[in-house]
Amino acid sequence: MLEKVNIIFQGMEIRKDKMNKSCNFCGNKNFKENRVQYIYKHDDRFLVMNNVPCEECKYCGEQYFKAEVLKKIEKIFKDIYFPGKKVKREVKVTVEEFVEI
């Protein structure tokens, strides 16, 4: 059974098809709608997006994002880093290399 639902995310309409599916990692069939923090990385640049919609496996927590949402995040990243869009805030991030002992 396929149910079509329209969702509005940051001014963009997303058509969502709900159907019987299972988690690719654990096989569970129970999911919940959630909003999470998503970290986008390209080369050595990062964008942290809060409140990103996803479907999350209720058993293992694996997150699934619609292609339209990920494309929107990529566009926001490009708007910030290439033409120089003003960001809400910047944070300092410490980076360290892991070395085996």
What letter does residue 85 receive in the DSSP assignment? P
Rounded Cα distance between 39 and 49, Å, is 6
pLDDT at site 59: 96
Tokens of 69: 């949402």
Q: List per-residue pLDDT tens for the chain, 101 residues long.
A: 344 555 554 455 555 555 568 999 999 999 999 999 999 998 888 899 999 999 999 999 999 999 999 999 999 999 988 877 788 888 888 877 767 65
By C-alpha distance, which of 19, 38, 40, 17 is closest to 29?
19
Domain boundaries, the chain: 3-81
pLDDT at site 80: 87
Residue 69 phi, psi (nearest 5)? -65, -45
**CATH 3.40.640.10 is held by the domain 3-81:** no
Which residues have CB under 8 Å from 32's CB, separation 6+?
55, 56, 58
Q: What's the predicted TM-score (pTM) here?
A: 0.68
Residue 7 region by backbone torsions, left for phi larger than 0, else alpha for psi between -120 and 50, else beta? beta
